[in-house]
Structure 1
Amino acid sequence: MKHWPYPRWVAHRGAGKLAPENTLAAFRLGAEHGYRMFECDAKLSADGVVFLMHDAELDRTTNGTGIGGDRPWGELARLDAGSWHSRAWAGEPLPTLENLARLCLGNGYHLNIEIKPTDVAIAQRTGEVVAREAARLWTGAAVPPLLTSFRPESLAGAKAVAPQLPRGLLLDSLWQGWLEMALQLDCVALVCSHALWDAATVAQAKSAGLRCLSYTVNDEWAAQRLWDLGTDAIITDRVDLFAPV
């Protein structure tokens, strides 16, 4: 992408830790803090519905138990995804990607969809289904969502079914061949754990035509270091600390 249409600040899972992550309440709260781009985690229900949740297991962020991807959407839709955070959010449901798309498209918000397969065996299929759904939902939109994943198989699946949607490779370490893999997948960005960026890695990425994004940055000194390095965007939990200017 020669033109980079996304804001410099991205709210992690909606509103960081101020609201139950990956719920519509969190995205609305992030927007109240001035954020216009959000990161979310997308996975598949047992019957192929794309819904938002980070963990493979339901236990931490809902009143359910077991693997979320093993349940049909009809069961997942009835879970409470808010009470774990605080009483104020009791009864907040798990949203589908379509629910979030309506919120974003209706308000001009941008989205980074992390493709989050529950198992490596379905990584490619998850990428295919998420990308196909994103392409359908954002048909005709001026700015498409950015699809990212730690799993190259998921990005390969996304590329196969919706090559027009921009992709980014997520990295929690600089494993051998990381840059070559990003280029092979026709990525437009690298999204790294913020400590991985230094002058050399930024130069490598930029010389390859890739944008440099960082997660999850919650301290002012870390943010300033990344801006000084010339990176392009920061994903943060601290929507209450950083003004997204």
Structure 2
Amino acid sequence: MNNRVYAHRGMSALAPENTLAAIKLCKKYNIDWFECDIDVIADGTVILTHDSTLDRCTNRSGGYYDLTQADLAGIDAGAWFSEDFQGEPLPTLSQVVQWMNSYQLNANIEIKSCEAGKAMALKLLDGLQQALTALEPEREVIISSFNHLFLAELKKRCPQLAVACLYESYDCLDDALTVLEWVGAEYIHLSQQGLTRETVARFNDAGYKVAVYTVNSPMQANELFNWGVFGVFSDIPHLLAAQYRKVNTN
């Protein structure tokens, strides 16, 4: 399959998002790439989380910037999804890297725009760099963020890492080519809402690979791939990838 399908927050339709359970299922369904979100806690441990609080996806409430790794043992990140996942831990990025090596998976790691200030943001980058040192050379990783300052700093530190600038609004694309060049990005990730073939062509022609979020329709994914999109992020990657293969073998 030439076009890439990313499991959005892991296999998030089948298991609680941003957990080891959701990532492990990628191997079962032959999905080579997953996406996850990271932020940092007080002692510099990088954790998987999409939100800036624990309320939605754990048995805890409130923020996490004052927590340490010792506090993670008391957090259940699975029961909210299903009783089958009760006791599922809130994972660290180091654990995820180990699973990537064990299950031969690749990852798009999205850096959340740390809300705890510059010192914590730099601690997040430090933790990300440290975790990735354990990644086996055969594994691939892309680092993305809506915070392009993060990506520019990371690229200075680790020029070998592939990075992707995320955009939420098409109102902000006027200077996107300048931003991509300044950051040193290889990818641009765009919302499916309002995307046009012309926009995809604009970035492809400039040498950037385009990925689109969040695509849960096989027909839409097929159209986007025909436009020249490189990859799509999906909550149902197992169904989408299977349907895409079927469409392109008939």
State the secondary structure of the residue aligned to 2:133.
helix
Using structure 1 for the length normalisation, give the TM-score.
0.90
CA distance in 2, matches of 1:14, 1:157: 27
Q: Distance in 2 between matches of 1:206 and 1:131?
A: 29
Q: Counterpart in 2 of 1:3? A: none
Equivalent residue in structure 1 for 2:21, among 18, 25, 30: 25
1:219 counterpart (217, 220, 238): 217
Residues 14 and 23 of structure 1 are in contact (CA less than 8 Å); yes or no, is this contact kept in structure 2? yes
Alignment partner of 1:95 out of 91, 106, 110: 91
Report the counterpart of residue 199 of structure 2 in structure 1: 201
Q: Does 1:129 align with 2:120?
A: no
Partner AA of 1:208 in structure 2: A
Q: Decide which of 167, 184, 188 is 1:186's aligned counterpart.
A: 184
Quick one: distance in 2 between partners of 1:144 and 1:218? Answer: 24
CA distance in 2 between partners of 1:127 and 1:46 (Å): 10
Deviations 1:42-85 (A, max 9, x none): 11011111111110100100111111223222112320000010
Return the offset for 1:94: 0.7
How far apart are 1:220 and its partner, in Å? 2.1
Unmatched tracts of structure 1, length 5 or more: 1-5
Unpaired segments of 5 or more residues in structure 2? 246-250
User: Of the candidates 149, 153, 157, which is equivalent to residue 149 of structure 2?
Assistant: 153
Amino acid at match of 1:125: L
Aligned-pair CA distance for 1:130: 4.6
Moved more, 176-185 or 229-238: 176-185
Contact 1:131 1:161 in 2 (8 A): no
Residues 29 and 166 from structure 1, CA distance in 2 versus in 1: closer, same or farther, beyond 3 angstroms? same
| Residues in 1 aligned to 2:70 and 2:233: alpha-carbon distance in whole angstroms | 32
- Following superposition, which runs of at least 4 residues in structure 1 exceed 6 angstroms of deviation? none
- Aligned counterparts of 1:224 and 1:185: Cα–Cα separation in 2: 30
Q: Within 1, Cα distance between the matches of 2:91 and 2:192? A: 28
Distance 1:85 1:172 in 2: 27
Cα distance, 1:31 vs structure 2: 2.1
- Equivalent residue for 1:242? 240
Deviation sequence 1:126-146 (CA, Å, 0-9, x none): 5622541244122x5134310
- Match of residue 163, structure 1, among 154, 159, 163: 159
Counting matched residue pairs gives: 239
In 1, Cα distance between equivalents of 2:233 and 2:127 = 21
Normalised by the length of structure 2, the TM-score is 0.88
Which residue does the alignment assign to 1:77? 73
Sequence identity, in percent? Answer: 33
2:248 is matched with which residue? none
